[in-house]
Amino acid sequence: MNLNTLEFRSDNCGSAAPEIIEALVRANQGCAVGYGADALTTELNSKLSEVFETKLRVFPIPTGTGANALALAATGTPFGAVYCSPEAHINTSECNAVGFFGSGLKVSPIEGTHGKVCPIFLENNLNSAGFGQAHKSQPVALNLVQATDLGAVYSTDEITHLSALAHARKLTVHMDGARFANALAHLACSPAEMTWKAGVDILSLGVTKNGGLLSDAIVVFNPDIANNIDFHLRRGGMIWSKMRFASAQILAYVENDLWLRLARQSNAAAQQLAQGIQLIPGARLIAPVQANELFVEMSATALDRLANQGVLFYRRGPELARFVCRWDTTTKEVEQLLTLIQTGLST
Ligand SMILES: Cc1ncc(COP(=O)(O)O)c(C=O)c1O
């Protein structure tokens, strides 16, 4: 890190965990067949089936956007609609990759708080969707972002309730788990409880943001979806040829609970920051801090001061900042940021 800056822009800015780099070095021996027919990818399928306590299929994929768009493309028809929260990454930040890879799939935001889909609004939308009417996009999937794009976490009861509403109308439930391990660490439940046991059919499993290097994954719990997914991935140019290296990263990620250890570190840094911010007059958290992202309101002048003093963060509005803690964010960095916020607000 540059000594004159404090990095709070994104968990994407963090380093990769040494365990993952070591796994890549170990995988770099001899030859292995490409496109996922290798031994490490077979092992990855068994390992994640064990971790999630069910038979599943894993498809390592380069990006979270690709995982979301292709997972959703595999769930529906080109004239379908995907429900999500207004803040959902597929709605705000993926250049309509869902529509592109889904050959016209529509993203339909549903209101809620803290980046969640509200079950009442979901039910209202389902009731007025016009199923079977050729004039209307046909709802095909529900997208839940876990942890949400405002740093909150759905409880397993909330996921179960929303999934039941979606399944009652034959929608597929997709979880965008770009920060899956952060949410899992927060809930302290099992991966199964946060996914298929609560009704999730298909998951974008984030790895890169939480100490990974270059691979996320699509995890399919519902075998009906898995039948088509290879075709969507191949057509979208999203199948690694040297797949063993992608699989090696994800294997190392879950081995010995590395993913939880890394997520606990970034969550703990976020808690330290949140607790400090709550004590600073003039700064206000706009959503509960349950993972590793914080959204903080303060005056535009105070935010300008922070930026001028070398704090790297993203502005989500003139008076709204997003701070993200990485697995390798230190206690000292958090303390320095708190001091700068405090002095910026009191001068
Ligand atoms: C919630 C969420 N989903 C998906 C993504 C997309 O990941 P990528 O940038 O790897 O495409 C991000 C990235 O910031 C994200 O925050």
Span from the CA of 346 to the centroid of ligand 1 (angstroms): 35
Structure tokens, 59 = 């498809």
Fold classification of 18-258 is Aspartate Aminotransferase; domain 2 (3.40.640)
pTM exceeding the 0.85 threshold for the entire prediction: yes
Bridging pattern class, strands 80-84 and 57-61: unpaired
Do residues 160 and 192 lie in contact, with contact meaning Cβ atoms separated by under 8 Å?
Answer: no
Q: Answer whether residue 22 shows pLDDT above 90.
A: yes
Q: Answer whether residue 309 shows pLDDT above 90.
A: yes
- What is the rounded average pLDDT of the residues 73-90? 94
Do residues 273 and 330 lie in contact, with contact meaning Cβ atoms separated by under 8 Å?
Answer: no
The per-residue pLDDT for 1 is: 44
- Phi, psi angles (nearest 5°) of residue 144: -115, 125
The residue whose CA is least distant from atom 6 of ligand 1 is 64
Q: Which residues of 173-212 are buried (b: 16+ CB within 10 A; e: fewer)?
A: bbbbbbbbbbbbbbbeeebebbbbbbbbbbbbbbbbbbbb
Q: What does the domain layout of the chain look like in residue ranges?
A: 6-14+259-346, 18-258
d(CA 263, CA 185): 7
Span from the CA of 64 to the centroid of ligand 1 (angstroms): 5
Q: pLDDT per residue over 31-75, tens digit each?
A: 999 999 999 999 999 999 999 999 999 999 999 999 999 999 998
The per-residue pLDDT for 187 is: 98
- Point out the ligand 1 atom lying closest to the alpha carbon of residue 67: 11
Q: Answer whether residue 227 shows pLDDT above 90.
A: no
Q: pLDDT per residue over 128-139, tens digit each?
A: 999 999 999 999
Span from the CA of 178 to the centroid of ligand 1 (angstroms): 6
Span from the CA of 343 to the centroid of ligand 1 (angstroms): 33
The residue whose CA is least distant from atom 5 of ligand 1 is 64
Average predicted confidence (pLDDT) for the chain: 96
Structure tokens, 121 = 């609004």
Span from the CA of 65 to the centroid of ligand 1 (angstroms): 6
Span from the CA of 131 to the centroid of ligand 1 (angstroms): 31
CB within 6 Å of ligand 1 — which residues? Answer: 63-65, 68, 89, 145, 149, 176, 178, 208
Structure tokens, 314 = 């993203």
Q: Which CATH superfamily is domain 6-14+259-346 in?
A: Aspartate Aminotransferase, domain 1 (3.90.1150.10)
The per-residue pLDDT for 138 is: 97
The per-residue pLDDT for 292 is: 98
Q: What angle do helix axes 64-73 and 223-235 make, rounded to 10 degrees? A: 120
Ligand 1, pocket-test mutation among 91, 93, 174, most atoms within 8 A of CB: 93
- Phi, psi angles (nearest 5°) of residue 160: -60, -45
- Point out the ligand 1 atom lying closest to the alpha carbon of residue 88: 1
Q: Answer whether residue 2 shows pLDDT above 70.
A: no
Angle at the Cα of 149 from the Cα atoms of 16 and 196, rounded to 5 degrees: 80
Span from the CA of 176 to the centroid of ligand 1 (angstroms): 8
Banded model confidence at residue 87, pLDDT cuts 50, 70, 90: very high
Amino acid type, 297: E
The per-residue pLDDT for 333 is: 98
Q: Answer whether residue 226 shows pLDDT above 50.
A: yes
Ligand 1, pocket-test mutation among 65, 94, 180, most atoms within 8 A of CB: 65
Q: Where are the beta strands (DSSP E) in the chain?
A: 6-7, 57-61, 80-84, 106-109, 138-145, 172-177, 202-205, 216-220, 284-285, 293-297, 311-312, 314-317, 320-324
**What secondary structure letter does DSSP report for 118?**
P
d(CA 314, CA 144): 23
Q: Give the C-alpha distances (Å, rounded to integers) separating 208 from 60, 124, 304.
A: 11, 36, 30
- Point out the ligand 1 atom lying closest to the alpha carbon of residue 63: 10
Span from the CA of 71 to the centroid of ligand 1 (angstroms): 14
Q: pLDDT per residue over 163-213, tens digit each?
A: 999 999 999 999 999 999 999 999 999 999 999 999 999 999 999 999 999
